[in-house]
Amino acid sequence: MYRATTIPSGHCASNGDLARALLSGVLQRSLSLSPMTTVAARLAGASRAAPIDTEESQSLNRNPAARNSQSGFSLVEAMVAALLLLMIAVGILPLFVQSIVNNAQGQDSSTAANFARARLEEFDQLPLDDVRMAITAGDERKFDEIYLYNAKKWIDGTVPPAGDWALWSRTTQIHQYGAVNFETAPFSYDQRLPSTAKPIDIHLKEIEVTVKSNRNRDVTGISLGAGKTVSARVYKAV
């Protein structure tokens, strides 16, 4: 609200008096404003203040390339990265294949050695005059066996039954020898004795077992370098 300023009667209104009167009216008007009105005016002025740019936003505005580099990978960059990964994978793939082959060969070697050892121990416990140690024809006794994949057992022969296949094959050979040159050591056992040899002339029998893996001829038709063959022998003397 405006409050009138009166000049006492009897005085002429000079320029100084008019200026003082106007200044007094302005001051009275400013003092008559409420505190709430002043606060609202300040808030309105703060809301109209311009935002302050940070250093990062100013840098991005000045350098468009930096702004684009932070937006992600382009299609060309993704294709180049995929090509590099493919080249690395192709380079190390043979190492994985060779590792699989070595593991298969090692497993076959261990299994074949165990099968051969078990067969040798079985024949080593037999006496020399056992019927299975006797050579009936020629100068060799031979036993053929196969290990069935589905039945999980050894059977005599070389042909598996229908619906199954031979995972392992095992051959046992028996030879007999007679010692010569008794006068001077070492004695020689180089000559095999036939089945018609007299028992008194037989001094040594050789038992040889050969185990072969048929994994390279399995039902899948896939060979990973397996199919190991292991041979072992033991001698029985009189």
Residue 64: the pLDDT is 55
- Around 4, how many Cα atoms within 13 Å sit in the side-chain half-sphere? 3
Report percent pLDDT > 90 for the chain: 22
Amino acid at 107: Q
The domain locations on the chain are 102-237
Q: What is the pLDDT of residues 15-28, one digit of tens each?
A: 555 556 555 554 45
Q: Which two tokens stand for residue 169?
A: 């094959």
Cα–Cα distance measured from residue 228 to residue 121, given in angstroms and rounded to the nearest whole number? 21
The residue type of 73 is: F
Mean pLDDT of 150-164: 93
DSSP 45-114: HHHTSPPPPPHHHHHHHH-HHHHHHTT---HHHHHHHHHHHHHHHHHHHHHHHHHHHHHHHHHHHHHHHH
What does the pLDDT look like over 77-121, one tens digit per residue? 889 889 999 888 888 888 888 888 788 778 888 888 999 999 999
